Amino acid sequence: MASEGQTSTGYIQHHLQNLAYGKLPAGYERLDANGNVVEVLQQDTWTIAHTSQEAVDMGFWAVHLDTLGWSVFLALILGFIFNKAVGTANAGVPKGVQSFVEMIVEFVNATVTDIFHHKNRLIAPMALTIFTWVFMMNLMDLIPVDWLPFAAAQIAGDPHFFFKVVPTTDPNATMGMALTVFALMIFFSIQQKGFMGFVKELTLHPFHSGKWFVDIFLIPVNLILETVSLIAKPISLGLRLFGNLYAGEMIFILIALMFSAGLVMGIGGFFLQMGWAIFHILVITLQAFVFMVLTTVYMAMAHDVEEH
């Protein structure tokens, strides 16, 4: 629920700001929520941002502690669940956690088998990790938007404490994963095709005549087309996940504003929130699946050594 005395715009901006940790330069004037100077730094200082502007002024090297913290925490939970399933595995009929984990593993394995027709023992485990981890990060969007930020503010003793709990609504997280996939694409492409094979793929496709005096004019066109296509893959992969989850979070925040607009609006907000949460279960699952499938497709393309 929106805090008393806080505008709707301020409420939205507060929920969309990450807990940033970075360096502020000497002489920097730190302001309070009302814009009053409360401190002037005497030297370069690594600190937590107290305002959105401070987070911006920290620049590229600022670290989003909430995104990193929740990502690692959710990864540990996944590790615990899978480790428990392995520890209780037996030859009999699976039950409980083991049954659930086996269902997910079989689903992912079937999907990878249909898409990836090469030999690489890394791909299936990577697909399983991506699907389950992204799903867990997306799942945090179903927790009411004020619960965890309010608890964090109480613990920190600061009502303006920033605390986002959905890592995939942070483009740094989604683009970081997408760039990792991109790096693996390049690595496997060079590994499977050789460096010159990779260069030829960029310069002799899609247009190739077989005559050097014609190809010399086609190479620049091919290079531009293939480079744009290659770079577009990680950008679209990361931004697709970020955009869908960010939009979902924004809708939850807008619905939460209704709870501060009176009893009637609050009741309406409750039903809207429940309806959107139910629909959003499909969204968070689908986005995790799409990220996994596209990653597997890109890995298959990197392993494809056939000449066209």
- Annotated active-site positions, please? 236, 240, 244
Per-residue tokens: 69: 């913290």
Angstrom distance (rounded) from CA 15 to CA 27: 29
Angstrom distance (rounded) from CA 295 to CA 299: 6
Per-residue tokens: 281: 């279960």
Q: Which residues pair with 63 in a beta bridge?
A: 21
Residue 300: helix, strand or coil by DSSP?
Answer: helix
Q: What is the dihedral sign for C-alpha 34, 38, 43, 48?
A: negative
How many residues appear in the chain?
Answer: 308
CB–CB of 292/111 below 8 Å? yes
Angstrom distance (rounded) from CA 64 to CA 27: 23
Angstrom distance (rounded) from CA 271 to CA 143: 15
CB–CB of 125/292 below 8 Å? no
Q: How far apart are the first and last CA of the chain?
A: 58
Angstrom distance (rounded) from CA 272 to CA 256: 10
Which string of b and e fits 38-69 if b means at least 16 CB within 10 Å?
Answer: eeeeeeeeeebbbbbebbebbeeebebbbbbe
Considering only CA atoms, which of 23, 21, 26 is closest in space to residue 49? 21
